[in-house]
Each structure stands twice: as structure tokens, then as C-alpha cells.
Amino acid sequence: MSRILYLLIVIVLYNLNVQAQGIEFLEVPWKDAFAKAKEEQKLVFIDCYTKWCGPCKAMAKNTFTQKEVGDFFNENFINLKLDMEGEDGVTFSHKYAVSAYPTLYFIDGEGKIVKKFVGGRQPDALISIAKDAIKSNDQSAKFEENYNAGDRSYDLVLGYVKALNAAGKPSGKIANDYIRSKPDITEDQLLVFYFEALVESDSRIFNLVLDHRNQVGKLVGFQQLQQKLAASLDASVKKAIQFESEPLLDETLTNAKRSIPKDSEQFSFESKMSFYSALRQADKYREAYKGYIKSDAKNSKTYNKVISSITGTFDDNKEMMADAEKYSEKLFDLTEDYASLKLLVQTFSMNGSYSKALSIVEKAKEKIAKKGENTSQYEALEGFLKSKM
């Protein structure tokens, strides 16, 4: 009995951990979520679903549970799930005329729809849509008039900086001017201001946040602080690419060692891959992705990222495409799933290696057949490869 109880506890803790990585949905009426969004100057993200909807179940299982999705949505939105056949869902539907599932909304605290779309999305696509929603919800004009009129109260300037950042507009001058003015505010208020004003790692504010890291973490939460630091590093990498500045890239990687030491190696390889692929510097790009693979050789996501990067950027480079072929084979050996096999076929096909790919597919089909599973997808891959030979 004690062993069974132990296993049940392990399963429950595992499930809780998985859920904690994804989006944290509030269990409140939608009107209360709007009020909270208005108070926190955020949008409400609403998943309108039904219990019988297949795509809704797929989103709940495969997209909302992803760590990168959870990190982004938990920081930037008030998140809500509405069963459209439940009482609260029905009242919401009467107001917003929901007619298909899932329908995903981004709505401001006043109840205005900022963005709406129907149907499931993969994690990257959902995050991209969410970023567009944030930029579309430009609230900076609400603060700009009073700021230009001379209002330098803490709430006004803080709100203005947050609104500019959310809309993707420059806020550095306003933030730095406010800090230099030595405002009559508490130390905690100043530290929160540092946090909210942080956008890029190549900035004075980044250093101010790091100088007061423990105090800021206690005020805003250490997880939120880590996410903010990582986002500022990403922003500086994009800036380095925009201005084709290798010194800025190097500075950003140095800042990563200071701010996210445990993840700095992976961040360095990923950043170099992005930078050198954008600038078409083949030798340095290849060195970066080889280091990235070596640093995390048992992670399927690492292989997926590198293969997609090579085939999407350097498909005309024979050496790199040979690497992509090799990595796709290692990925399939690691996972032995259909998605990896399909990627292998696509990569091998780009190289014209149809016979070798066919041999791998045939062996994979035999394994599946021995398990008594459906082989139709594998047969389709066989048919495609044979048609090319």
C-alpha cells in the first residue's frame, strides 16, 4: 500500500510540475478578469473552448503546457479559460458572439477586442500572435499628454514607461531622465521602476538592475526577474543583428554570463547562430551550431532547431546540408517518432539522398508493423521517396 501511495504522489507532483511550466489560467468570472487587467494595465487572454472540441483539447495539451508559452503569457497577460457551455461562457458568448472553437481573444480591461482568431496554434505561432496583440494595444497616448505637460509623478512616469515598452516604442530617454532627476520616491519604488524600465542589456538600467538583483527579485519575483533579464539580452542580440555589430554581440554574451550564468552557454550558441546566419558568415555560423549540438547532444529540441536553421538559411551550402542530414538521422535515433522521421525525409530529400532515406523509412515501418501499429503514414513517405528516385 505504501508503494502505491508513493507512486501516486510522484505522479501528482509530476503533473503539477508540468502544469506549472505552462499558462496559469485564473479561475474567476470574465468580468473580474477584465477588472484585474485594467488594474494591472494588461490584456486578458481568453481561450474559449468546449469539452468536446478536438482542437481545443490539442491546444490545452500541446500548446498551453509549453514552458516558453507559459513564461510569456504569465508575464504579459491575465489568462482565462472559458467553457462556452458553462454559465460564465454563455454570458461571454452573448456579448462577444463566439461561434467556433477554440476562439482565442486578447481583450483590454475596458472590454475592447484587441485581437481575435479562431482555431488552434502551435507554440511559436501563438507567441507571435500574442506579441502582435501587445503592440496593437498601445496605451502610451494616455500618458503622453500629461507627461508633456510636466507631470512627473511616479505613477504617471511608471505607467508611461510600461506602456511604451509594451507597444515596442523607445522608453530609454524618459526612464533615464526620471532616474537622473532623483525623484522623491521610496527605494522599493525606484527598484520596481528599474525593473519595468529594463528593455535592453546594453544599457545603464540593466546594470542598475543587476546591482540590486536580490532586492528587485524580492519585490517582483525572481522568476519574473530572470525572464526580464533574458528578454533584455534577446533584445540586444536583435539590435546587434540590426546594426551588424559584432562588438555589441560580444558585450551581450558577456552580460549573459553575469545575469543568467546557468543558461549563458546555450544562450551564447543560440545568439551566435542567429547573428552569423543573418550576416551570412558561414564559418562562424557552423562553429556556433556545432558547439550548440555538442553542449546538449541528447536534447531533441536542439537538433530540431539546428536542422531547421541550416535548411532555412544555408540550403545552398553542401557542408552544412551534410551536417543537417547527419543531425536529422541522430534526431530520429534519439526519438524514433514519426515527426522526426518526416523531418529526416525532408532533409535528405533536399540533398537528393532518396535511397538512403528510403532505407531508414523501411526499417522504421518494420518496427511499427511489429508493434501492430498503423503504418499508413510510413507508407506515404515510402511512396514519396520512390516517386523521386
Question: What is the predicted pLDDT for the residue at 10?
Answer: 36
Mean pLDDT in residue range 341-364: 94
**Helix-helix angle 187-197:172-180, to 10 degrees:** 160
Question: What value does the mean pLDDT take over residues 154-183?
Answer: 94
13 pLDDT exceeds 70? Answer: no
Q: Which fold has domain 2-136?
A: Glutaredoxin (3.40.30)
For residues 221-249, average pLDDT? 95
Quote the pLDDT of residue 362. 94
The span from the CA of 152 to the CA of 33, in Å, is 30
pLDDT at 387 over 70: yes
What is the predicted pLDDT for the residue at 31?
94
C-alpha cell at 215: 532586492
Domain ranges within the chain, ordered by starting residue: 2-136
The pLDDT score that the predictor gives to residue 136 is 86
> So what's the pLDDT on residue 71?
86
pLDDT in tens, 54-109: 999 999 999 999 988 998 899 889 999 999 999 999 999 999 999 999 999 999 99
CA terminus-to-terminus distance, the chain? 60
Order of strands, sheet of 43-49, starting from the edge strand that comes earlier in the sequence: 77-83, 43-49, 103-107, 113-118
With a cut of 80, say whether residue 158 has pLDDT above it: yes
Residue 7: the pLDDT is 37
What is the rounded CA–CA span in Å between residue 347 and residue 309?
Answer: 12
Q: How confident is the model at residue 18 (pLDDT cuts 50, 70, 90)?
A: very low
Chain segment 307-321, per-residue pLDDT in tens? 999 999 999 999 999
Each residue's pLDDT tens digit, 236-267: 999 999 999 999 999 999 999 999 999 999 99
CB of 151 within 8 A of CB of 142?
Answer: no
Q: Which amino acid is at 271?
A: S
**Average model confidence (pLDDT) for the chain?**
91
